Structure 1
Amino acid sequence: MSHSVVHRVAEISGQLAEAAAETEQAGKLSDKSVALIRDAGAMRMLQPTDFGGFAAHPRDFAEAVMAVSAACGSTGWVCGVGGVHPWEMALMDRRLQEEVWGANPDTWIASPYAPQGIATPTDGGYILKGRWSFSSGTDHCDWIFLGAIVGDADGMPVMPPQILHVVLPRADYTIVDDSWDVIGLCGTGSKDVIVDGAFIPAYRTIDSEEVSSGTLAADRAGRTETVYRLPFWAMFPLGITAAVIGIAEGALAAHLDYQRGRITAMGTAIKDDPYVLYAISEAASEIAASRAQLLDGISRLYDLADAGAPITFADRSVVRRNQVRCAWRAVAAVDEIFARSGGNAVRKGHVLQRFWRDAHVGLQHAIHIPGSIYHSDALTSMGIEPEGMLRALI
């Protein structure tokens, strides 16, 4: 049975679709889209119950993201990325959780996590400087997670590198308004942010290794709910790939609506064209397989955590491998149906071309790069322990 939020998203899908063009043109989520998502509770799926959230099964979270993305790719992407941040916030110091959610449980949090800044230790915390790209949905957020490398007094990274996730309020960073000019996912507003010497109290930081482990941060934060005992590199990619698969589902639905009564310039009705019908069914099956595999992977890890069993590197590796493949398979299916949609589908007013562009831009995210993930998983499957950077992002 689907989560109540998934049902609410289904009820507003038509309104989200109607607002999609405005979102794309504005370069950020429309006010209507933001209001709809807030009311549906999509951003609170992984938020702890003691701060107004659902602490939902991550499968339910992914299904909600897919449902939003099938209506509007940009809105779904923001839900997929931003929807994971409450999960990590639940692992932070309780003082910070009170600061973020105490007055308003609907407060949104942005990111990115790439360590593009230097955090220099000082009394009681760190001084942070840097510039980060790809802060999705940042215009609608009041706090932000940023990745940072711990530096020395000269602002140089210490060795071996230590990566922190640090949290800042909106007053401590600058959004670069003209930094998101792209061909797809235009409405995500994934702009650059700059921090120039902000002080970060130590309690607003967490070592990235603690979050990656899946249990250390949960134990320290006193979180016993199963969802908070999952590894970061299973949870963060989940929301992003769910958005891509949802976009593919939206593209398929739009393609079916368009082709149902279409007659080609040669006078052939698509319903009588066996080659196009073959492509439709094949693409539908590939997209469905992507959905099933993504949900299966996170459910397997959840079941291990729920049983109190360790989640090994090999477990994580298989899930990451399949998650990457899910995205590529779904986008390849979108290519197949888009190529059979005729010349009118490329017109800017046609919904199919937006889904097609959004799908490809979604595939550009770093968590969809297959090389090292496939390399590492192949070694793991042969009983060879990957080392160094082959363990990164897994």
Structure 2
Amino acid sequence: MSHKVVQRVAELAAQLAAHAEETEQAGKLSDKSVALVREAGVMRMLQPTDFGGYAAHPRDFAEAVMAVAGACGSTGWVCGVGGVHPWEMALMDRRLQEEVWGEDPDTWIASPYAPQGVATPTDGGYVLRGRWSFSSGTDHCDWIFLGAMIGNPDGTPMMPPRTLHVVLPRADYTIVDDSWDVIGLCGTGSKDVIVDGAFIPQYRTIDSEEVASGTLAADRAGRTETVYRLPFWAMFPLGITAAVIGIAEGALAAHLDYQRNRITAMGTAIKDDPYVLYAISEAASEIAASRSQLLDGISRLYDLADAGKTIAFEDRSVVRRNQVRCAWRAVSAVDEIFARSGGNAVRKNNALQRFWRDAHVGLQHAIHIPGSIYHSDALTSMGVEPQGMLRALI
């Protein structure tokens, strides 16, 4: 049986879809879309129960993200990215958790994690400077996770590099309002943010390697729930790829609605065209396979953690390989049906074209780049231990 949040999203899906165009035009989630996501509780699925969350199975979280994205791609994307942040916040110092959620458990947290800034050590913490791109949903967030390299006294990054995830309140960073002008996922409002000399107390930081390991951060934070013992590079990609697959499901539904009664310029009813019907069934199967593969991967890792077993690099590598592939498979399926939707599919009043654009932009995220992930996994499957950057993002 579906998680109750997934059921709520299903009940609200028509309303989310009705505000998708408003979200796209605004370049950020509409106020109504934000209210609907809050009402459903999607952002609290991975939040710890002691701060008003569900500490849900990550499979349930992914299904909720897919359901949102099937109605509105941009809203689903923000849920997929932002919905993972409460999971990491659960691993942070409890003082920070109280600051973020103590008064309002519905407080949203933004990111990005790319280490595009430098944190220079000082008494009691760090001084942070930098500019970060792609802060999805940032207009609706009161706190932010940022990736940063630890710096030397002169502000240059230490070598070899060591990275942190640091957390700042809204008053300590600037959102660059004109920095999100794109062709897809327009409503995510994934703007740039700037930090110019903000002080970050030590307790608002965490070593990125601790989070990546899957157990070190959980042990330090005293979190025993299975979901918090999973590796970062399984959890963070999960939300993003779930959004892409949900978008593909939305595209398929829009295609079916459009094609059901369509007559081509040659006078052929689509329901009588065996070539289009073949493409529809093949695409539907590919998208369904992508969903299954994504959910299976995170469930396998969860089961290992739940049994108290070590999640090995090989385990993580296989899940990352499959997660990347299922995103590309789903978007390829969308291309097949879009190519058979006729000229009117490109009109802006046809939701199919928005899903098509959103799906392709979703593939541009760094976690969907297959090269090094496939390379690393192939070596691992041969019994060769990947080294250096071939272990990155896994």
TM-score (norm 1): 1.00
1:31-50 alignment runs, 5 A limit: 31-50=31-50
Q: Name the CA distance, whole Å, in 1 between partners of 2:170 and 2:254.
A: 38
Q: Deviations over 1:218-237 (max 9, x none)?
A: 00000000000000000000
**Superposed displacement of residue 209, structure 1:** 0.1
**Equivalent residue number for residue 291 of structure 1:** 291
For residue 383 of structure 2, give the secondary structure of its aligned residue in structure 1.
coil
Identify unmatched segments of 5+ residues in structure 1. none
**Equivalent residue number for residue 268 of structure 1:** 268
1:197-216 alignment runs, 5 A limit: 197-216=197-216
**Superposed displacement of residue 208, structure 1:** 0.2
Give the letter for the 2:190 counterpart.
S
Q: Name the CA distance, whole Å, in 2 between partners of 1:191 and 1:46.
A: 24
Q: Name the CA distance, whole Å, in 1 between partners of 2:155 and 2:322.
A: 39
1:1-394 alignment runs, 5 A limit: 1-394=1-394
Give the letter for the 1:53 counterpart.
G
For residue 43 of structure 2, give the secondary structure of its aligned residue in structure 1.
helix
For residue 211 of structure 1, give the secondary structure of its aligned residue in structure 2.
helix
Give the letter for the 2:370 counterpart.
P
**Superposed displacement of residue 357, structure 1:** 0.2
Q: Deviations over 1:102-151 (max 9, x none)?
A: 00000000000000000000000000000000000000000000000000
**Superposed displacement of residue 63, structure 1:** 0.0
For residue 55 of structure 2, give the secondary structure of its aligned residue in structure 1.
coil
Report the aligned-residue RMSD.
Answer: 0.3
**Superposed displacement of residue 155, structure 1:** 0.6
TM-score (norm 2): 1.00
- Percent sequence identity is 90
For residue 116 of structure 1, give the secondary structure of its aligned residue in structure 2.
strand
Q: Name the CA distance, whole Å, in 2 between partners of 1:103 and 1:336.
A: 48
For residue 105 of structure 1, give the secondary structure of its aligned residue in structure 2.
coil
Q: Deviations over 1:173-226 (max 9, x none)?
A: 000000000000000000000000000000000000000000000000000000
For residue 165 of structure 1, give the secondary structure of its aligned residue in structure 2.
strand
Q: Name the CA distance, whole Å, in 2 between partners of 1:89 and 1:389.
A: 26
**Superposed displacement of residue 165, structure 1:** 0.1
Q: Name the CA distance, whole Å, in 2 between partners of 1:271 and 1:245.
A: 25
**Superposed displacement of residue 272, structure 1:** 0.3
For residue 195 of structure 1, give the secondary structure of its aligned residue in structure 2.
strand
Q: Name the CA distance, whole Å, in 2 between partners of 1:287 and 1:350.
A: 21
Q: Which structure 1 residue ranges, 4+ long, deviate > 3 Å from structure 2? A: none
**Superposed displacement of residue 303, structure 1:** 0.1
Give the letter for the 1:44 counterpart.
R
Q: Deviations over 1:35-55 (max 9, x none)?
A: 000010000000000000000
Give the letter for the 2:328 counterpart.
W
**Superposed displacement of residue 160, structure 1:** 1.5
Give the letter for the 2:252 counterpart.
L
**Superposed displacement of residue 17, structure 1:** 0.1
Q: Name the CA distance, whole Å, in 1 between partners of 2:286 and 2:207.
A: 38
**Superposed displacement of residue 349, structure 1:** 1.2
**Superposed displacement of residue 355, structure 1:** 0.2
Identify unmatched segments of 5+ residues in structure 2. none
For residue 120 of structure 1, give the secondary structure of its aligned residue in structure 2.
strand
**Superposed displacement of residue 348, structure 1:** 1.1
For residue 164 of structure 1, give the secondary structure of its aligned residue in structure 2.
strand
For residue 166 of structure 2, give the secondary structure of its aligned residue in structure 1.
strand
For residue 348 of structure 1, give the secondary structure of its aligned residue in structure 2.
coil
